[in-house]
Chain A
Amino acid sequence: MSATDRDHRATGRSTDQATRWAVLSPPTLFLLAFFLAPALIMVLASFQYPGEFGGLAPLTDQGDGKEYGLTLENLAFFFSDWLFAEIFARSFSVAAASTLICLILAYPVAWLIAQSPKRHRDLLVLLVILPFASNFLIRVYAWMIILGPQAALARTINGLLATLGLEPVSLLFSPIAVLVGMVYVHLPFMILPLYTNLEKHDPVLLDAAQDLGANAWQRFWRVTWPLSLPGVFSGAALVFIPVLGMFAIPDLLGGTRDMLIGNLIKDQFLGVRDWPFGAALSIMLTLAVLSLAGLAAWLSKPRRRAT
C-alpha cells in the first residue's frame, strides 16, 4: 500500500505510468486470481446446500428433485449452538497465548541480534531461519519424540512429581504440547520483524535518554518499546493469524480436548464432506480476524497521538 502512496506523489509522466503498470499488474492480477476470486467463491459456497456426496449442490434446478440454490441454513447451523462459538473462543485464546509467549521469547533474541556487531548479524539471522530448512511436519514429529513419555524430559518431570508425591503428567497429547508446538513453529515470524525494527533504532536516542537521567528500565519502556511497536504489531499478526488456522499441530500434539477452529474446518472438507458449513466457518473466522485487526488499529491510533 505504501508503495502506491509514494507512487501517487510521483510525477505523472507516461513512461512512469507504463512502468508502474508493468510493475503493479502481475501482483494485482495474482491477488485477484488467487486471493479475491477464491474468497468470493468461499462466500458463495457458504450460502449453498451441501451436495449429496460432498461438494456443493448446484445453484440451478437440475430437474432431479434435489436441493439447489442459496440458503441461510449453514449460518443458521453455526448460530444454532454455542458449541461452535466456544471453539472460536478457545482458538482465539490459544492464538493469543502463543502470540504473547512468542513476543516474550522473541524480543530479547531480536534485541541481542540487533545489538551484536554488524558482521555477526547475518549469521545470527540465518540461525533463526535455519529450522525452515526442514519440513515443518518433521519438526513437529521431533517434538512428539521430545515430549513423549519415555523421553528424558517427561521422565525428569515425572520423577520430580513422584518425589513430591504427585500424579505423573503426560506432556505429549496435551494443551501444553499444542502451545509448545505453536510457539516453536511461529517463533521466527516474531523474531524477524522485531529484529528489522530494532536494528534501525538510533543508539543516540538511548544515550540522550541516559543523559536526561533515565534508568535502564525507563530507557526501554519510554524509548525502545514505543519505537518497536510497529515490529511488535507485524510480528503479532504473523503469529496470531497462522496459529488460528493451524490444524496439524493440534492433530499431532493435542489430546482429546484440543480441537481448534482449524481442525473443525478441515473436518468439514475432508471428514464429513460438508463444504458449505466449512466455507461458512472460514468466513466467520475471516470476519472475526478482520474485526479484531480493526479493533487493534482503532485502539492503537489515539494512543500514538497521545504520546
Chain B
Amino acid sequence: MNGKWLWPWLCALLSGPLWAAETLYLYNWNNYISDATIARFEAQCACRVVQDYYSDNEEMLAKIAAGASGYDLIVPTGNAVESLIRSQQLRPIDKARLPNLKHIKPAFLDTPFDPGNRYSVPYAYTLTLIGYNTAKVRELDLPTDTWALIFEPRFLKRIKGRVTVLDSQRELMAAAMKYLGHSINDTDEAKWKQARDLILRAKPFWAAFNASSYIKELTVGNIWVAHGYSNDMFQANQDAQRAGRPFGIGYGIPKEGAVLALDSMVLHKTGRHPDLAHRFMDFMLEGVNSAELTNLIGSGNPNQAAIAHIHPEIADNRAVFPDAVTLKRLEMMRDLDRKSRRVLNRIWTEIKLR
C-alpha cells in the first residue's frame, strides 16, 4: 500500500553491486533470526539475504493482500499460513529437497492449517502465558500455574492495578475460554459471553490492555503480573537481570492450557528464487542454526536436533519446552470466519467500553 514492496529492491541497489550474487528476500518478524545465522548462510551459499520486517501477522497479510511481491520466504503464524494458502499466495514446498525436515518433532507437523505440510515448514513457536515478578508473587503468596491469577478477584485484589493483559481480542478471549474449560477455537456465542463476563469481572483490577510496553513495565517493577508471550517474558527476565533488579521475571504455562503460536516458513508465489529458498529452509532446519534463534530470543523450538545446542537454562524451562501432558493442553488458533469475527468484535468493544 505504501510502496514498501520497493524496499527489497532498494536495499539490493544500495547495499551492493547488482551482479554480485543471488539474493534471498526474506519477509520475517522483527528480530526473528540471529545475525550470525544469516552470515553463515550467506557464506555457505555465496548469496545475500535481504530481510524485510513485520511486527504483526495482520500487517504482513495486509501487505501481501495489497500486492507486495518479490518475497521468497515468509514466516507467518499458523492461522496466517492458512489464510495465505486459501488465498492461493503460496508455492508448494518440495520435501525431497529438505532432508533436515526429519528433525521436526511430529507434534509440530501435519497441523490443521496445513495438513501434510504441503506449504509450510515449522520454524519456531511462542506460547501465550502469564509472566510474573518472582519476588512479588512469593511475597503475596499467589499461584502462578493457573489463569485464575488474572481472572479471579480473590487473587487480583492483592495485585490491583499491577496486572496487564494482552490488547488482543483473540488472545484474551482464548485465555478466558481456556480458564472456563472450552476450546480456544469454540465459536459458540453463549460461551463467548461467559468469557466476556469473566473478563468484565476481572477488568476493574487490571491496569491496562497492553501489547506493547509490558516487557518494560515488568522489568522496572511497575507491573507484577502480565498476560503475554513467552519470548517477551524471556526478554523481560534478561532485562531485569542485566539491570540488576532484586527480582526476576518468571513465566509458566497455566495448567488449564494456553495458545501455541507456531511460525512456519512458507514460499511466496512471487518469489524469484525458490531454489535458494529451499536451501535456506533446509539450512534453518539444521539443529545448530535453529538453536541459535532460541538462544537469542528464548523462542520455543520444534526441532529435535536443536535441543542439544540450546542453552540448558532455556532447554530446561518447562514454559518454553512443555512436558507431554502440558503440550496436549496447548492449542493453535484458527482463523474465524467473518460472521464470527463480527460477533466477537461486538463482544470485545463491549469489554473495552464497560
Q: Which of B65, B87, B353 has the most CB of A within 10 A?
A: B353
- Whether B354 pairs with A274 at a CB distance below 8 angstroms is no
CB of A271 within 8 A of CB of B168, answer yes
8 Å CB contact of B353 from A50, A51, A55, A86: A86
Query: How many Å lie between the Cα of A83 and that of B349 in the bound state?
Result: 7
- Among residues of B, the one whose C-beta sits closest to the C-beta of A254 is B208
Binds A, one of B37-45, B190-198, B306-314, B338-346: B338-346
Q: Is there an interface contact between B350 and A83, defined as CB atoms closer than 8 Å?
A: yes
A256 shortest CB reach to chain B, Å = 5
Cβ < 8 Å to B, chain A residues 29-87: 49-55, 77, 81, 83-84, 86-87
> Would you call A245 an interface residue if the criterion is a C-beta within 8 Å of the partner chain's C-beta atoms?
no
A77 pairs with B342, CB closer than 8 A? yes
Q: Does B268 contact A (CB under 8 A)?
A: no
Do residues A272 and B345 form an inter-chain contact, with CB atoms below 8 A?
A: yes
Tell me if A271 and B207 are in contact (CB < 8 A). no
One digit per residue, 1 when the CB lies within 8 angstroms of any chain B CB and 0 when it does not, for chain A 139-157 equals: 0010010001110000000
Asked if B59 and A270 make an inter-chain contact with CB atoms under 8 angstroms apart, the answer reads yes
- In the assembled complex, A257 has its CB within 8 A of some CB on chain B: yes
Q: Give per-residue flags for B52-65: 1 if the beta carbon is below 8 A from chain A beta carbons, else 0.
A: 00001011011001
Q: Does B83 contact A (CB under 8 A)?
A: yes
Set of chain B residues within 8 Å of A86, measured between Cβ atoms: 353
Please indicate which of the listed interface residues B161, B335, B344 has the most CB atoms of chain A within 10 Å of its own CB.
Answer: B161
* Assembly CA distance A258 to B164 (angstroms): 14
User: Does A273 touch B at the CB level, under 8 Å?
Assistant: yes
Residue in A81, A90, A149, A255 whose beta carbon sits within 8 Å of that of B346 in the complex:
A81
Known A-B contacts A53-B86, A83-B349; the reply to A274 vs B338 at CB < 8 A is yes
Instruction: Mark each residue of chain A from 239 to 281: 1 if its CB lies under 8 Å from any CB of chain B, else 0.
Output: 0000000000001101111010001100111111110010000
Partner of A264, one of B168, B213, B221, B349: B349
The reply to whether A256 and B213 form a contact with Cβ atoms under 8 Å apart is: no
Contact of B222 among A150, A252, A259, A274 (CB under 8 A): A150
Q: Given A150-B222, A173-B208, A251-B167, verify A54-B58 contact (CB < 8 Å).
A: yes
When distances are taken between beta carbons in the complex, the residues of chain A under 8 Å from B353 are 83, 86-87, 90, 257, 259
**Is there contact, CB below 8 Å, between A271 and B203?**
no
B212 interface contact, C-beta 8 A: yes
Please tell me which one of the listed residues A53, A87, A270 contacts residue B83 in the complex, with CB atoms under 8 A apart: A53
Chain A residues contacting B208 (CB-CB under 8 Å) are 173, 254-256
Q: Min CB distance, A21 to chain B, in Å?
A: 29
CA distance A87 to B354 in the complex (A): 11
Task: Give a binary string over B151-195; 1 marks a CB under 8 Å from any A CB, 0 the rest.
Answer: 000000000010000011100000000000000000000000000
Contact yes or no, B169 A271, CB < 8 A: yes
Tell yes or no: B220 within 8 A of A by CB: yes
A273 touches B352 (CB 8 A): no
B274 → A minimal CB distance (Å): 23
The answer, yes or no, to whether A172 is at the interface (CB within 8 Å) is: yes
Q: Contact between A54 and B206 (Cβ–Cβ < 8 Å)?
A: no
Chain A residues in 8 Å Cβ range of B345: 267-268, 272, 274, 277
Which residues in B have their C-beta under 8 angstroms from that of A173? Answer: 161, 207-208
Interface status of A170 (Cβ within 8 A of chain B): yes
CA distance A260 to B168 in the complex (A): 16
Q: Bound complex: CA of A87 vs CA of B349, how far in Å?
A: 9
Which residues of the partner chain B approach A81 to less than 8 Å between Cβ atoms?
346
Q: A130 to chain B: closest CB distance in Å?
A: 25
Contact A150 to B86, CB < 8 A, known contacts A52-B337, A274-B345: no
CA distance A150 to B224 in the complex (A): 13
A83-B353, A150-B222 as given contacts; A256 in contact with B344, CB under 8 Å: no
Of B61, B62, B341, the contact of A274 (CB 8 Å cutoff): B341
B209 at the A/B interface (Cβ < 8 Å)? yes
Contact of A53 among B87, B206, B212 (CB under 8 A): B87
Name the B residues within 8 Å of A141 (CB-CB): 213
Q: Are B341 and A273 in contact (CB under 8 A)?
A: yes
Q: Per-position contact with A for B320-354: 1 when CB-CB < 8 Å, else 0?
A: 00000000000000010110011011101110111
Q: Write out the residue numbers on chain A whose beta carbons fall within 8 Å of the beta carbon of B349.
A: 83-84, 87, 259, 264
A277 to B59, CA, bound (A): 18
Q: B59, A259: Cβ atoms under 8 Å?
A: no
Interface pair B65/A252, CB less than 8 Å apart: no
What are the nearest 10 A-B pairs in CB distance? Answer: A259-B352, A173-B208, A53-B83, A173-B207, A55-B65, A50-B338, A170-B161, A270-B58, A256-B206, A256-B203
Chain B interface residues toward A at CB < 8 A: 56, 58-59, 61-62, 65, 83, 86-87, 161, 167-169, 203-204, 206-209, 212-213, 220-222, 335, 337-338, 341-342, 344-346, 348-350, 352-354
With A53-B87, A148-B222 known, 5 other A-B pairs at CB within 8 A are: A149-B222, A172-B207, A251-B212, A267-B345, A270-B56
24 contacts between A and B (CB under 8 A): A52-B86, A52-B337, A53-B86, A55-B65, A77-B342, A81-B346, A83-B353, A87-B349, A144-B213, A148-B222, A173-B208, A251-B212, A252-B213, A257-B352, A259-B353, A267-B345, A268-B345, A271-B168, A272-B341, A272-B345, A273-B58, A273-B61, A273-B341, A277-B342
